[in-house]
Copies of this chain bind each other. A is one copy, B any other.
Amino acid sequence: MKIAFIGAGNVAYHLAQNFDKNGHTITDIFSRNINHARALCQKLYDAKPTNKLDLSHSLAEVVFICLPDDALIYELKNMIFPPNAIVLHTSGSVGMDVFENTEIEKYGVFYPLQTFSKFVSLDMKFVPICLETSDENTEKIVEKLAFSICENIAFYDSEDRKKLHLAAVFACNFTNHLYAISYEILEKNGLSFELLKPLIQTTTQKALQNNPRNVQTGPAIRNDKKTMNEHLEILSNQPNLALLYEKLSENILFF
């Protein structure tokens, strides 16, 4: 298929290259910053960079909007799409209803449940892709398109997708923040995060192979007040971390 991208960030970067590799043609890459669009086009067979939101002359049959949620909502009304194109956004938290009251007739959501970074190339084959579409005909086309790069696709409505996204925030964004806190505690004390890596890897494996609730360890689940108080003592001049420690520990005990 002929595909255009609005946005040249991490998601566009990986999706465009995966489609390109699998026999589709990327026609246009839009970015407010033309250099970002150019950088992505250089990775693709035949795409044109643009910084104008008018795609009325594009040959694209499908347009992917890969923008941050707020930009997606804000910019949507300014975009001009190719006639008859299917328009898809890639956000986990924005409902499909964002396309209602626009002139777009065929639309949907194409949400890859993965975190992308430009520096790490990624085969989309095993990335779960969550789909939702405006109508049955669009569903067939988008499903086929998704299957051309990925084996793991499923249809979820906007409500379920929001819950998936919420669960991902806990399991990934918040988890990463806890790693950042851990890193800082060690660094401040001249200790290395390297030391924790084997433990972090085992912990993650264990959680993925079980119901994580059943493999909880640590002072909170044992209600080991002595250790918890000593830890709070260490955090006494970082009240935000101390509060987080307390709330997480309470939650573990009463979960």
Which residues of A approach B to under 8 Å, CB–CB?
68-70, 73, 93, 113-115, 117, 120, 122, 126-128, 154, 156, 160, 162-186, 189, 191, 193, 195-204, 206-208, 211-213, 215-222, 224, 226-227, 230-231, 234-235, 240-241, 243-245, 247-248, 250-252, 254-255
Contact = CB atoms under 8 A, between A and B. Distances in A.
B196 A113 contact: yes
Contacts of A248: 174, 177, 244
Contacts of A178: 170-171, 174-175, 178
Given A171-B178, A172-B200, 5 more contacts: A113-B199, A162-B231, A176-B215, A200-B207, A200-B208
Given A173-B252, A234-B166, A247-B244, A114 B182 contact: no
12 contacts: A113-B196, A114-B202, A128-B198, A166-B185, A169-B220, A170-B179, A170-B245, A173-B218, A175-B203, A177-B251, A179-B212, A180-B212
Contacts of A204: 175, 200-201, 204
A134 B207 CA distance: 37
B199 A183 contact: no
Contact of A186 (B164, B182, B254): B164
A193 B210 CA distance: 10
Contacts of A226: 69-70, 73
A213 B185 CA distance: 12
Nearest to A68: B222
A71 to B, nearest CB: 10
Nearest to A169: B218
B217 A115 contact: yes
